[in-house]
Structure 1
Amino acid sequence: MNGKVFLIGILIVIACWIGNIVYYVNQQLDKPIFFEHYYDIVQSDHTDVTLYYVTNKHNPTMINSIEVNGINFTPTSYFPHNESHNQPEQQFQHHTIMKVMIHIPKAIFDNQKNEEGIWAFSEAKVFPEIGDPFTVNVGNIVVIEEISLHDDLYETKTFLGERWESQFIAKESMKITNIVSAKNGLEKDLYIALGSNDIDFEGTHNEPNWFSHELKEKWEHIDRTPFHDNLLPLELSEEDRFTMYAQLNPNKKVFVRKYFRISGISASGRPFHSYIHFDPVRPEFTDQELKRLIREES
């Protein structure tokens, strides 16, 4: 009798062991899954693009190079002292989120940009250290030619979780005629508003339908008007201030770098511009959110 019980115990242990192995194997990815990236990047001498992807935790895929429009880019490193360019960002039971950064030289951008000074791409070919290359959708990445004009606005930035705010102070009397950003498909998930003690904005506090009750409470103390073109032009006296607010839909788990260009004319008749970037906090994923993403991509 004791022998039978012992044998049954051994068989149960073996069955559990085999089951764990089967489960582990089923959780492994054949190749990495890349996240959606919505980037507006102003071209400069140091234009870097960081891409995030999910790979296996215990046997992660390292990236040798990335090809865009037939141009091959070797990953660069965020870190000094020759540390690896592949660094874990967030780890889970079977998977890990990693990043890889590529540098776009100005000469390549100048050769790829269109007549409007823009180079946009959504696909990339990935060359892993081990295995065959594969093509991925990386979202919508827009690189924009920098415009060399005078900057007549001071700027201070504040980051508050998903919400971002940037205050501008006029160096002299001026008229702001345009506030623009590249169209990259994120417009419905990004709430933009203006506020000021020096300027009277006409408008209502109409929030998008994804504004939760918790978000409304966080914004309740802010006197603001949702941005629209009818607010322009803005007439500013010297030292007048206004604040630009941005809120990314917290349910939109994507990686974002959004640029805005503020343009206008100073009192002396000189054109000017300011570039600002909205860089929200990198999204954190729960285990269930990551599993759902993997199911959708499988």
Structure 2
Amino acid sequence: MKGKTFIISLLIITISWGGNLWFYQSKQLEEPIFLEHYYGGAGVFELYYLTNRDESSHVMSVEFSDGTTLHAKSDYYGFHNGNPAYGPDVQSRSTHYLLKKTGFDEQQMRELEVDHEGEATIHFNDGKTMTADIGTVESSELREGNGIFRSQGTSSSSNGRSFRTYTVKEDLKIDSMSSPFPEVQDDLKMKLYAPSIDLTGTPDAGGPRSYSKELDEEWSQVAGAPLENIDFPIDMKQGDRIRLTMQEKPDSIRAYSYEIEFTGTSENGTPFTQPFLVSNHPQFTPEQMELLIERRGSQ
């Protein structure tokens, strides 16, 4: 009887071990999955991708559709860790996967005049090469300040909220707003604050509320008006503050860095363009990783 019980117990352990091994193998990716990127030449270009948790390789270079090849920053992997799940390129991790990023030199992108859309060829340090749709990547010339807007602060939070605040140095009128990637707006909620706008939320003493509070405030209490509800032009007086607050939606699995442009005229009739940087640095939950696999794993 004891021998029979032992055999049954051994079978149960073997079946359980085999089931766990099958489940682990079923979760493994055949190759990395790259996010869809929208990069408009603003800020540092970073390439994000999902890979298996035990994968130690990293991206060395990317060959774009326009024929240019960009190499990863030489110092990006200066600090090595024996455990790939805790390497310097890891942004977030789950039981099975790692979200990694590779940074590239912004000035080199400008020199190469990168202009890419769709599939790119990715080279890894272990000699492997793959083709993946990485989205739209464009370089641009450095902008010179217009001297009318003075930066007052920027901030962001792990909950997907960020904002940029400026003070205007003279009376002006903002006539319009445009975005190079309107499709990304589906991933974002945006509010614009200015004293002359019909506001939602409660501004503090006639200006934006405290930075730390509004990063965690209920969206309905964030000072400003939804961007899609604003009627241009917007009149501003010298010393007024203007702030763009952005909230990323939970099911957003894109990477982006670009500028929304506000155009208008100063008090003396001089036209101006003021960029507001819109960017994110994805740090996915396990649920978002699974969503990425569902949406882009079959491409």
Report TM bin, short chain: 0.7 to 0.9
Equivalence map 1:35-46=2 (5 Å): 35-42=35-42
What's 1:93 paired with?
95
Letter in 1 for 2:48: Y
> What does the per-residue CA deviation read over 1:178-231, in whole Å, with 9 as the maximum and x for residues that have no partner?
33221252133333332233x2x35999xxxxxxxxxxx813334533335973
Equivalence map 1:1-298=2 (5 Å): 1-42=1-42, 48-69=44-65, 70-76=67-73, 79=76, 82-83=78-79, 87-104=89-106, 105=108, 106-109=110-113, 112=114, 119-130=115-126, 132-148=128-144, 150-156=146-152, 157-160=154-157, 161-197=159-195, 199=196, 201=197, 218-227=218-227, 231-280=231-280, 282-286=282-286, 288-296=287-295, 297-298=297-298
Say which SS state the counterpart of residue 290 (structure 2) adopts. helix
Whether the 8 Å contact between 1:159 and 1:280 is mirrored in structure 2 is no
Higher strand share: 1
Deviation at 1:147, TM superposition (A): 4.3
Q: Which blocks of at least 5 consecutive residues in structure 1 are unaligned?
A: 113-118, 206-216
Please tell me the root mean square deviation across aligned C-alpha atoms, in Å: 3.2
Q: Distance in 1 between matches of 2:23 and 2:130?
A: 26
Scaled by the length of structure 1, the TM-score of the pair is 0.76
Q: Distance in 2 between matches of 1:253 and 1:240?
A: 35
Say which SS state the counterpart of residue 185 (structure 1) adopts. helix
Q: Distance in 2 between matches of 1:166 and 1:254?
A: 21
Q: Distance in 1 between matches of 2:290 and 2:227?
A: 36
Scaled by the length of structure 2, the TM-score of the pair is 0.76
Deviation at 1:78, TM superposition (A): 6.7
Whether the 8 Å contact between 1:153 and 1:168 is mirrored in structure 2 is yes
> What does the per-residue CA deviation read over 1:148-173, in whole Å, with 9 as the maximum and x for residues that have no partner?
45231112224353333333211122
Question: 1:78–1:18: structure 2 CA closer, same or farther, 3 Å change rule?
Answer: same
Whether the 8 Å contact between 1:142 and 1:182 is mirrored in structure 2 is no
Whether the 8 Å contact between 2:171 and 2:238 is mirrored in structure 1 is yes
Q: Distance in 1 between matches of 2:230 and 2:18?
A: 66
Whether the 8 Å contact between 2:200 and 2:223 is mirrored in structure 1 is no
Letter in 2 for 1:49: F
Say which SS state the counterpart of residue 41 (structure 1) adopts. coil
Count, aligned residues: 272
Say which SS state the counterpart of residue 44 (structure 2) adopts. strand
Q: Distance in 1 between matches of 2:89 and 2:233?
A: 45
> What does the per-residue CA deviation read over 1:21-69, in whole Å, with 9 as the maximum and x for residues that have no partner?
3332222222111122233333xxxx63111111111234422321112
Whether the 8 Å contact between 2:91 and 2:282 is mirrored in structure 1 is no
